[in-house]
Chains A and B, each alone.
With several copies, the nearest count.
Chain A
Amino acid sequence: MLHRRLTQFFILYAAGVGLLLAFKVALGLSDYVIPGPGEIWRTGQTYGAAYAAAVLNTLGVAVLGHGLSIVLAAAVAVIARLKDWIGGFIRTAAFNIQSYPIVAVAPILFILLGDGLATRLLIAALICYFPLLLSFLGVFSEPVREIEHFYEATGRMTWRLQIKIRAFENLQKLTTVVVGSATLAMVGTIVAEFIAATAGIGYSIRIALYQSDLAKILVALLLIGVGTSLWLVLLEGLGAALQRRMERP
């Protein structure tokens, strides 16, 4: 699994870089527009170790942010699933806030929360929670009549039970979304670092952009890809194990 994922990623990455280089050769672009393979290689050697450490750093925050956004999305979805005014209000809030670009909201967040880890985590979580929210909302607001009827009829239905039933019946869908949203946590963290950190791979990318150094960016993308692949494989393993446990006969 891990092996396959990584192989696939390397093929993909090689194809991407190959395409860029082909462009370079075809249009006769000079090294400052698209760096040559030699420069990419040298940059990798020089910055590889430091960037790998930065990616690990970022991954750490991303894992936290992902957890936070799962909790956040679940909480919001549970309320927003209600058909009444409060539910509509929370839905409106969640949807509208999402349409604000984080860069526009970030200054306000910094004003309100300061610039500790909290703000960075929150930015990462805000970027990652919304797709989770959408799926949770879809799953949590669709009744499973054949199971719920009994609890309704006997007056035993609670909102927690309802959520549990619907989540369980859609376990596979939820696992797909939760695992997939991990990559969003990654990008969320990187963006947060990009805006306001002094560590992590997002910070390195920021500097590389400032220095107009595409070779560095390509090295960073490689390491982000490897890090993400590792994390996804881990999460998928966990998801599959959970599903097996929950669905055992």
Chain B
Amino acid sequence: APREGVEEIHYRLKWLCNVSTVGDLYALEKGHFARAGLRVNVKPGGPERDALKELELGHAQFGVASADQVLRAAAKGAPLVVLAQLFQVNPLQWIYRPDKSPFREPADLRGRTVGVTFGGNDETILRALLARHGIAEGELRLFSVRYDYTPFYEGRVHFWPLYINAQAPIIGERLEKAGEPIAFLDPHRWGVRFVANSVITTREMLRQHPRTVSRFLAALLEAWREALDPANEEAAVQVLLAADRETPEAIVRRQIPVTRRLMVPEPPAAFGRIDEAAWRETEEILRVQGLIERPVDVRSLFAENLP
């Protein structure tokens, strides 16, 4: 049973416990939540999970969701509030073999086969990239991606989407071991700023328990900052290894620096900074592609004057 005066809180992550959740786990493990007087139940996400729906249903009070999910929900009237933006740069990139399908600029995609998860945000990002660089969809072949990398391994697909911080160290290591050079196409570098994971709560929560929200957020961001601080890297590795027994230590050690580069803004003190311009751009991409039916005023999503 929760101690006297301690609030029980459910926090739904976007994905299974991996490097993209290191700060969340760190907060739990190192007592940040406890010191803030919160008893937080950190619940891993999963493929058919949607933290936003759970927030609305009251199954959770805080959650992590990607910007496209948030905007879609907001367009349909979901009463959400964005508290912090975890990734400053979207971790979604495309792996390719520079020797077989060299890439210098987006025009090089012409005539290639590119993997996308239809319906996923990689499809949205790729379409935005193509639109920005004036490439028609007919100039390349899209390949429907699911669990299995074989089509890429076999060279039938030239560009394959993955998360640069979580998956690339694993897949990359395997290809390097086989002596194959690899490289990554980063849409961010080519002008597509598409926001990834953010921490979300509901308007109702914010209205009724503003102090809880701010205590939670402060504790969480502090934990993230510490977890990604190079000085605490060893502790972060241990926290991750304890929560995720499925990833070898060597890989985890490679994942953390990549994650740090994607997440920590300048200055580092502003961890969780909400990049309003990027949100606007994300909203526009979704609107242009017809993925949201009406415009969303992104400012209205952001939490103001937290106590």
Q: Which residues of A contact B (CB under 8 A)?
A: 27, 29-33, 35, 39, 46-47, 50, 103, 106-107, 110-111, 114-115, 194-198, 203-204, 206-213, 216
Contacts and interface: CB of A to CB of B under 8 A. Distances in A.
B77 A210 contact: no
B45 to A, nearest CB: 9
B246 A208 contact: yes
A53 to B, nearest CB: 10
B154 interface: yes
Interface in B172-192: 174-175, 177-178, 180
Main secondary structure of the interface of B (DSSP, over half): loop
Contact of A107 (B72, B76, B147, B178): B147
Contact of B119 (A46, A106, A114, A211): A211
A50 B245 CA distance: 9
B47 interface: yes
A217 to B, nearest CB: 10
Given A115-B59, A207-B246, A211-B246, A33 B48 contact: no
B300 interface: no
A30 B150 contact: no
Interface stretch (B49-57, B85-93, B126-134): B49-57
A194 B146 CA distance: 9
Given A30-B78, A207-B119, 16 more contacts: A29-B57, A30-B73, A30-B76, A31-B78, A32-B77, A107-B147, A110-B150, A195-B146, A196-B46, A196-B148, A197-B46, A203-B144, A209-B148, A210-B147, A212-B52, A212-B171
Contact of A32 (B56, B151, B245): B56
Given A111-B57, A207-B16, A32 B118 contact: no
20 contacts: A27-B57, A30-B78, A31-B78, A31-B177, A32-B72, A32-B149, A32-B171, A107-B148, A107-B150, A115-B43, A195-B48, A198-B16, A198-B144, A206-B47, A209-B48, A209-B147, A211-B119, A211-B171, A211-B247, A212-B73
A211 B167 contact: yes
